[in-house]
Structure 1
Amino acid sequence: MDERILKWLFDVQISIDEINEFFQNEEKDFFKYRNNIMLKRAVERNLEIIGEAMNRIISRDKSYAEKITNAKAIIGLRNHVIHAYDNISDENIWSILINHLPKLKIEVDYLIQET
């Protein structure tokens, strides 16, 4: 595996782990999330990092678009968070955290272990 791709996969892994740590000491609760601006911004920043790393990975090796589910949607989310920051839906971000981030973690962990 390309050394840069491995570095970016680690960036994704670290960002996912960091998001999970935000909720480590308490149950994931949408209403607490929605009312905590610092938590929301921290989650959004990590999603930006994940999306940028994914963009770099796909730009370097297009085969990763097939190895990582929704790779292009992850990049699209990054663009949305950065460029349409005033139109971010807490519900959409929450859905990503609950429904998509666990699968992404499994896929990225597998790709890293494969090396």
Structure 2
Amino acid sequence: MPRDPRTYLWDARQAVGLLRQFEIVGEALNQLRKVDAELAARIPDVNRIVAFRNILIHGYASVDDALVWQTLTDKVPVLETALDGLLDGAGG
């Protein structure tokens, strides 16, 4: 039985507060794209988030610390707000 798409939102929302959890955020949103592309498309920069996850995992030696910091300070709050809104609106 497939997972409820909202579980991927929940996974991403729970992990987004921790720097080392970027990989989980990216993978959760990658899985969400596979099971509910329409819902995933409502998340700002979802493709860039997944790509960032792939860079962190596969290209970790070339990761720019300034980019990670900028992502944490500028992009994570926007993502948190988007995920909260989708979770609140997802209903039961």
Output the TM-score relative to the length of structure 1: 0.72
Q: Equivalent of 1:93, from 62, 68, 81?
A: 68
The residue type equivalent to 1:58 in the other structure is: R
Match of 1:9 in 2: 9
In structure 2, how many angstroms separate the alpha carbons of the residues matched to 1:108 and 1:79? 20
Deviation string 1:65-111 (CA, Å, 9 cap, x unpaired) is: 43000000000001000000111110000010111100000000011
Query: Residues 54 and 71 of structure 1 are in contact (CA less than 8 Å); yes or no, is this contact kept in structure 2?
Result: yes
Q: Percent identity?
A: 28
**Structure 1: 5+ residue runs without aligned partners?**
20-42
In structure 2, how many angstroms separate the alpha carbons of the residues matched to 1:112 and 1:98? 22
Larger Rg over CA atoms: 1
Match of 1:61 in 2: 36
Alignment of 1:6-85 (within 5 A): 6-17=6-17, 19=18, 43=19, 45-85=20-60
Cα RMSD (Å): 1.5
